[in-house]
Structure formats: structure tokens, C-alpha cells
């Protein structure tokens, strides 16, 4: 998978892939820098190796993890309104496309002709895009393997009539950024869709602590395996020697900051080596692995406005667990 020149004619059924992935050294640099901080931390994007992607799919099916099924129901239940909001002939750009399950609802309803999924997980991107091509023969697919948190100049394509670009960012993945990072990300999206372009974005809503604590510390322990898999990946890819049974998963909602925090807590005084460097852990000391920010509808609309979008539509579920915003680049 290599970057190719853009502006090539497309063909339905033939999936093209472009790669803008950072160098293999990047994970090493990021992990070493994060573990050297007073509050040790590792960026959440490194959860998603093959096993991490599988575990995340399992999380999405858990009874405690309401976001996936709730967002899917919101999309299905409001699809006619969403089609009207987007209008005809939209290029669909999906950030963090994963297994592209919710995308199918949109592609079917919008009769999308050009789909540009962007994901850091190369195997998932390839497998999902190829499966989608088999299902929608009218669809042109251009998969982009990239870290979408960084500004990305998306290629332009010829041969498919496009009236507007639609950015789709489901799953409340925007919550895994700090609000400042989310603002920067939304500004980048604003640039990519251009004036008049649209954004359809899923955002998890603030709610009671018990519901959120359970969603990120499920009874079956799948989220714990997802969190610990990060250490397994680092052991494998960076020659580290973390002992997984000497750490435990911790996740809790922090209401003052309006975010869930995930950590890996050291159970003992211990030492781990990563890429030849030594890291000491006190009992109870944690590696901070993820934040998942929750927003009220008004808070997120305000963030969108600051990034240059006008907040046109918002769809929610009857219990007000989750929101899907329709925004237009002003």
C-alpha cells in the first residue's frame, strides 16, 4: 500500500488504497515519551492492532456498552431526515471507519457513489472495504490508511459527480480527544470538506456515573482485555517485558471533567523495560491509556461553531444517551 498520484479515474468494485501512515519508529517514540511523564500515559490510538480491533468489536456488542446500538438506532430511526440533510451526490469521508457497520446504513440510504474510509488499522481497513465493495457494486471506494488526528490532505478524485463532501465520524470517537484536540480535529475536517460541506458526527452525552462506569468496566472483562492488550502489543512490537498479570484495568467517570478515564494500574512495586529503557512503577501507580469525553448537546454545538461549522440538526434517542449532530461548514 503506497501513496499514489491523485486525480485518477475511479472504477466501482475496484478498491484503491493509499497509505499515509507515520514511520514504524513513531510508536516507539510515543510510548517512550508517554512513559517518561510524571503521569505515565500511552496514546489510545495504539489500542488498535488486530487483536485490539477484535476486542473493540466485542465491546460494541456488550450489554453495558450502549453507544454502538444507540447510535445505530438513531441513524436508522432518522434516516429519511438525514438523507434530506445531506442531499444528493455526496462524497462520504469516514474518519476511523473500523468495520464500517454504520456506514452501510448511510451508503444504502444516500446511494453513495464515492466512499473514502480513513483508518489507522490497515488490516481492518482493507478487509472492511473489500467486503463493502462486494455488497455495493455502484460504489467507488478509496481507502486511506492514516492517523486522522493529524492534518491530512485528501486526494481529489475524478469520474464521479460530487455535489458536496460529507464527513462521517461516528461512535463518539471525538471523545477520545481532549476538547482542545477535538477543536483542532474539527478545524481540519472543516478544511477537508470545504465551505458548504457537511459533518455527521456521533457524540456520547453526559449522564449518570453508574451507567458510564459500567460501560467502561464491563462484567465480562472485555474492556479490561482491550486495555491490557496495549501492554501485550508493546511487549511484542517494542521488545518490552510488561507482566500483564501485574497490572489491572481501571475505568471511571470523572464528572468534574465530564470524561471517562481508563488506566492500567500497577499492582506491585515493579520494573518494566521498553526498547532498552527502564521504567519503575510504585504499587497503585497508573499508566493513563484513554479519555472518553462526554458532551451536552449545547457544549458540542459550541465546539462545532468554534471550528467553523453551523449546527443544523441533532438527533438523539428517547433516553438521551447519545447524540448525532448534523453540521455544515460555514
- Positions that interact with ligand AVI (CB under 6 A): 59, 67, 171-173, 175-176, 216, 223, 290, 292
Looking at beta carbons only, is 28 or 45 nearer to ligand AVI? 45
Measure the CA–CA gap between 245 and 235, rounded to whole angstroms. Answer: 13
Looking at beta carbons only, is 136 or 148 nearer to ligand AVI? 148
User: For 267, which DSSP code?
Assistant: S
In the block, cell 479490561 appears at 224
Minimum CB distance to ligand AVI, residue 213 (Å):
12
Q: Name the residue whose CB lies closest to ligand AVI.
A: 292
Looking at beta carbons only, is 59 or 189 nearer to ligand AVI? 59
Minimum CB distance to ligand AVI, residue 317 (Å):
16
Looking at beta carbons only, is 190 or 294 nearer to ligand AVI? 294
β-partners of residue 287 are 264
Neighbours of 53 (CB within 10 A): 21
Q: How deeply is 231 buried, as exposed, middle or buried, from its count of CB atoms within 10 A (0-12, 13-18, 19+)?
A: buried
Looking at beta carbons only, is 140 or 176 nearer to ligand AVI? 176
At 86 the three-state DSSP class reads helix
Measure the CA–CA gap between 242 and 272, rounded to whole angstroms. Answer: 6
Minimum CB distance to ligand AVI, residue 12 (Å):
30
Looking at beta carbons only, is 29 or 61 nearer to ligand AVI? 61
Minimum CB distance to ligand AVI, residue 18 (Å):
23
Minimum CB distance to ligand AVI, residue 168 (Å):
14
Minimum CB distance to ligand AVI, residue 229 (Å):
11
Angle at 118 between CA 296 and CA 214, to 5 degrees: 40
Looking at beta carbons only, is 107 or 262 nearer to ligand AVI? 262
Minimum CB distance to ligand AVI, residue 119 (Å):
12
Torsion over CA of 251, 255, 258 and 262, rounded to 10 degrees?
-10
In the block, cell 472495504 appears at 129
Paired sense of beta strands 16-19 and 140-145, if any: parallel
Measure the CA–CA gap between 279 and 46, rounded to whole angstroms. Answer: 19
Minimum CB distance to ligand AVI, residue 283 (Å):
24
Measure the CA–CA gap between 9 and 68, rounded to whole angstroms. Answer: 35
Looking at beta carbons only, is 155 or 258 nearer to ligand AVI? 258
Measure the CA–CA gap between 5 and 26, rounded to whole angstroms. Answer: 25
Asked if 212 and 258 touch (Cβ cutoff 8 Å), the reply is no
Amino acid at each position: 500500500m503506497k501513496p499514489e498520484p491523485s486525480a485518477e479515474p475511479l472504477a466501482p468494485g475496484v478498491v484503491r488504497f493509499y497509505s499515509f501512515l507515520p514511520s514504524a519508529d513513531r510508536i516507539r517514540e510515543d510510548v517512550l515519551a508517554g512513559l517518561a511523564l510524571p503521569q505515565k500515559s500511552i496514546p489510545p490510538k495504539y489500542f488498535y492492532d488486530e487483536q485490539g480491533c477484535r476486542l473493540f468489536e466485542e465491546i460494541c456488542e456488550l450489554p453495558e456498552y450502549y453507544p454502538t446500538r444507540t447510535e445505530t438506532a438513531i441513524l436508522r430511526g432518522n434516516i429519511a431526515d438525514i438523507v434530506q440533510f445531506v442531499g444528493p451526490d455526496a462524497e462520504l469521508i469516514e474518519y476511523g471507519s473500523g468495520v464500517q457497520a454504520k456506514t452501510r446504513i448511510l451508503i444504502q440510504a444516500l446511494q453513495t457513489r464515492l466512499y473514502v474510509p480513513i483508518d489507522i488499522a490497515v488490516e481492518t481497513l482493507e478487509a472492511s472495504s473489500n467486503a463493502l465493495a462486494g455488497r455495493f457494486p455502484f460504489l467507488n471506494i478509496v481507502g486511506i490508511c492514516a492517523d486522522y488526528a493529524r492534518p491530512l490532505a485528501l486526494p481529489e478524485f475524478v469520474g464521479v459527480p460530487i455535489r458536496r463532501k460529507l464527513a462521517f465520524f461516528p461512535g463518539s470517537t471525538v471523545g477520545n480527544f481532549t476538547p482542545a484536540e477535538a477543536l483542532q480535529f474539527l478545524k481540519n475536517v472543516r478544511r477537508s470538506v470545504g465551505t458548504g460541506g457537511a459533518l455527521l458526527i456521533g457524540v456520547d452525552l453526559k449522564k449518570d456515573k453508574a451507567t458510564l462506569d459500567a460501560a467502561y468496566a464491563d462484567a465480562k472483562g472485555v474492556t479490561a482485555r482491550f486495555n491490557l492488550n496495549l501492554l501485550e502489543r508493546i511487549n511484542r512490537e517494542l521488545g518490552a517485558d510488561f507482566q500483564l498479570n501485574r497490572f489491572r484495568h481501571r475505568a471511571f467517570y470523572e464528572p468534574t471533567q465530564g470524561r471517562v478515564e481508563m488506566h492500567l494500574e500497577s499492582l506491585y512495586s515493579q520494573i518494566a523495560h521498553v526498547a532498552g529503557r527502564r521504567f519503575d512503577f510504585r504499587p497503585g501507580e497508573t499508566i493513563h491509556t484513554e479519555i472518553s469525553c462526554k458532551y451536552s448537546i449545547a457544549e458540542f454545538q459550541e465546539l462545532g461553531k468554534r471550528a467553523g461549522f453551523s449546527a443544523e440538526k441533532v438527533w438523539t434517542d428517547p433516553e438521551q444517551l447519545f447524540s448525532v449532530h448534523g453540521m455544515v461548514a460555514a
